Amino acid sequence: MFQRSCAIALFLFGSAVLLPAAAANDPTADQIQDIIKKFTQKETEFAQARENYTYRQTSKLEEVDPPGGRYEMVEEVSFDDRNRRTSHVTRAPVTSLQNILMTGEDEQDLRNVMPFVMTNETADQYIINYVGREKVDEISCYVFSVRPKVLTKDRKRYFEGQIWVDDQDLQIVKTYGRSTGHLGRGEDQQFPKFETYREQIDGKYWFPTYTYADDVLNFKDGPSQRIKVVVKYDQYKKWDFNTHSTITYGGQVPQNPTEPPKPPQ
């Protein structure tokens, strides 16, 4: 994600609670494959639906130890007057980072890996293993570990970690892990662990709303750097393609009964 003078690390203290072990609660091998098939189909539908929504993404990074500067970017993801998908940066103060540098991989991760979605197409790129059952707040979930089968040389970015799938809606409600991908020889980029939570915004799909990280980046050729990262995705609103109406931002995201945990102070 970042290289010396730039690496992001994300670590969020998880709130998952392990359910009492009971073999009867675990699905059979055939049932696990059926669950994977069903939730990747639901994720595929969600990914398509999300492309019809406007939203705001606010990304902030702070160098904590040793203390340094900050990075911030606010983007409005919307549509132009021809209903073409657009992303418009509305706030981007000059970065004051002193010890790390943002890379192209970091920018890809902020946009695509942290709000991770596993569709029918991308599922074939991963090894998916059933871990068990846990609760995220009061939501009963299946937990799966995922890792890419191959890191392609086109610098494509992947997710590696665990995903929590609601056992009723069969959609991802939380992810925990880090981004990964093939890097050039000798590159010293470090990528953080992060945790992303979703909320049910439209009564049907679970949308990413909050990512948090607090991690130490251990560089091979330089001192370590602790950073904090917060990414918020809000103001979701479905775009009306028929009226071509202009979206006015400022509305509030409907709240889910289970709020994402607040970062430690």
DSSP output for 3-14? EETT--------
Kindly tell me the burial class for residue 15, based on how many C-beta atoms sit within 10 Å of its own C-beta (0-12, 13-18, 19 or more). Answer: middle
In the block, residue with structure tokens 């590696």? 160
Helix (H, G, I), strand (E, B) or coil at 131: strand
Mind giving me the DSSP string for 34-68? Answer: HHHHHHHHHHHHHHHHHTTEEEEEEEEEEEEETT-
pLDDT of res. 65: 96
pLDDT at residue 242, rounded to an integer? 79
Mean of pLDDT values over 256-261: 48
Question: Does residue 179 contact residue 156 with C-beta atoms inside 8 Å?
Answer: no
CB atoms within 10 A of CB 149: 10
Of 106-115, 236-245, 251-260, the range with the highest mean pLDDT is: 106-115
Mapped onto helix, strand or coil, the DSSP state of residue 25 is: helix
- Cα(233)–Cα(115) distance, rounded to whole angstroms? 9
Domain ranges of the chain: 2-238
- Tell whether the model's pLDDT for residue 207 goes beyond 90: yes
Q: How many CA atoms lie within 13 A of 8 on its CB side?
A: 32
pLDDT at 184: 83
3-class SS shares of the chain: helix, strand, coil, % to 5:
15, 45, 40
Average pLDDT (70-80) is: 95
Alpha-carbon 94 to chain mean position: 25
189's CB contacts (< 8 A; 6+ apart) are: 1, 2, 3, 6, 7, 103, 105, 183
Give the mean pLDDT of the chain.
86
pTM for this prediction: 0.82
The arithmetic mean of pLDDT across residues 191-204, rounded, is 95
Are the C-beta atoms of 251 and 231 separated by less than 8 Å?
A: no
Q: Among all chains, which residue has been given the structure tokens 């998952």?
A: 16
